Amino acid sequence: MTILACAALSIGIFIYIFYPQSKTEEQTQKTRLEFLQERKETIYENLRDLNFEYRAGKYPEEDYLAQRASMENEAAQILSEIEFLETSMHAA
């Protein structure tokens, strides 16, 4: 009797986990501008974290300066592309 109950429970769990859902949500497509805005926020957050960890003594100054310069360059590229997209949207 116990084996039958365990088998029924196992089958029920298996069906619950692996049964395909008919109402799956579709992922919305992001525009390039939305993607860049999210990327900008991520880079800013990473710069804050890097600065905090450097002040906590986790990074040598050489590594900190190299990583900060790399992130700042990427942020500058993203900001220029955001500005370009926003001005081209307003001009159209």
pLDDT in tens, the chain (92 residues): 889 888 888 888 878 888 777 665 666 788 999 999 999 999 999 999 999 999 999 989 999 999 999 999 999 999 999 999 999 888 76
Helix (H) / strand (E) containing 89: helix 61-91
- Whether residue 22 lies inside any domain: the answer is no
What pLDDT shows up at residue 24? 59
pLDDT, residue 65, reads 96
Residue 3 lies in a domain: no
Q: Does residue 61 lie within any of the structural domains?
A: yes
Residue 69 located in a structural domain:
yes
CA 45 – CA 59 distance, rounded (Å): 17
80 part of a folded domain: yes
Domain count, the chain: 1
- Contact yes or no for 85/32 (Cβ under 8 A): yes
Q: What is the model's pLDDT at position 73?
A: 97
Q: Is the pTM higher than 0.75? A: no
13 in any annotated domain: no
Domain span holding position 37: 30-92
Is residue 45 one of the residues assigned to a domain? Answer: yes
**Which residues, including other chains, have CB under 8 Å from residue 82's CB and lie 6 or more apart?**
33, 36, 37, 40
Token look-up 């926020």 returns: 41
